[in-house]
Amino acid sequence: MRTYLRTIVEDNTTRIGKIFDYSIQFLILLSLVTFSLETLPGISKSTFDLLRGVETFCVIVFSVEYILRIYVAEKPFKYIFSFYGLIDLIAILPFYLPGSVGLSYLRMFRVFRVFRALKLIRYNRALNRFHIAARIVREEIVLFFIVTSILMFLTAAGIYFFENEAQPDQFASIFHSLWWAVVTLTTVGYGDVYPITMGGKMFTFFVLVIGVGIVTVPAGLVATALSKAREIQRVELKAAGIEIDEEY
């Protein structure tokens, strides 16, 4: 019995395992849509009740799934404290606890459960490439994170020096200026705060010319690392004697 259930819950190569997985994935998406629809202002009482009904149904299925997964797991505690185990728990817990609004928001982390769908579309190799790429660029990303942090701090402190007097509300402190710094260096530029003094504009000029390039380098690093990861994986697969598509 337990072995049979394991085939359904954990194995997605069998027909019934696939149906189970696709159904769960569908319910995850359905419950996310429900979660989003509930926030719409001015929805009628009947619609709200319908959404709650769908929500309740989803949570019951997820709860059964959660218990099943613990039941069929070879090492139940390993599953419970794994990433997916915790996500699965967070996905259902808010429903059972006397819910404050904040707690109820935890439901949104259900979205992480869709990652399991990757098993269905057999993207193990692509995921593996992401792990290889992450290992390759780990150090560079940390370095850029430190450089970006320093750049943000200096930018915020600098603009505070130039603009605080002219715009005491927008650039009230270095913490307020950090908001401007992140919106500027990521090139979002909402336009809610911007320098108006000559000094502030010249400072921003130099910050933009130098800083914008620095902030966008990590994305390029990840892209080249993924390209490199493909080659590494190819060599590893060949070494392991696994057949690979030549056009790959």
Binders in 111-150 for a copy of itself, by CB under 8 A: 111-112, 114-115, 117-118, 121, 123, 125-127, 129-130, 132, 135-136, 139-140, 142-143, 146, 148, 150
Cβ nearer to a copy of itself, comparing 19 with 154: 154
The verdict on 67 binding a copy of itself (CB under 8 A) reads no
Stretches 16-24, 50-58, 66-74, 206-214: which one binds a copy of itself (CB under 8 A)?
206-214
Structure-token pair, residue 162: 């130039």
Stretches 3-11, 13-21, 58-66, 157-165: which one binds a copy of itself (CB under 8 A)?
157-165
Stretches 7-15, 39-47, 54-62, 67-75: which one binds a copy of itself (CB under 8 A)?
39-47
Structure-token pair, residue 210: 């130098």
124-163 and 174-185 helices, crossing angle to 10°: 130
Length of the chain: 248
The verdict on 52 binding a copy of itself (CB under 8 A) reads no
Structure-token pair, residue 205: 């000029």
Which member of 77, 187, 234, 244 binds a copy of itself (CB under 8 A)? 187
152-179 burial code (b ≥16 CB/10 A, e <16): beebbebbbebbbeebeebbeebebbbe
Structure-token pair, residue 105: 């928001």
Cβ nearer to a copy of itself, comparing 96 with 248: 248
The verdict on 244 binding a copy of itself (CB under 8 A) reads no
Do the beta carbons of residue 18 and residue 120 sit within 8 Å? yes
Cβ nearer to a copy of itself, comparing 77 with 190: 190
Cβ nearer to a copy of itself, comparing 76 with 189: 189
Q: How far apart are CA 114 and CA 117, in angstroms?
A: 5
Residues 224-243 that bind a copy of itself (CB under 8 A): 224-228, 230
The verdict on 83 binding a copy of itself (CB under 8 A) reads no
Which member of 62, 79, 95, 160 binds a copy of itself (CB under 8 A)? 160
The helix/strand/coil state of 197 is coil
Whose CA is closest to 159, among 147, 138, 145, 173?
A: 173
In sequence order, the 6+-apart residues with CB closer than 8 A to the CB of 61 are 24, 27
In angstroms, give the least distance from the CB of 189 to a copy of itself: 4
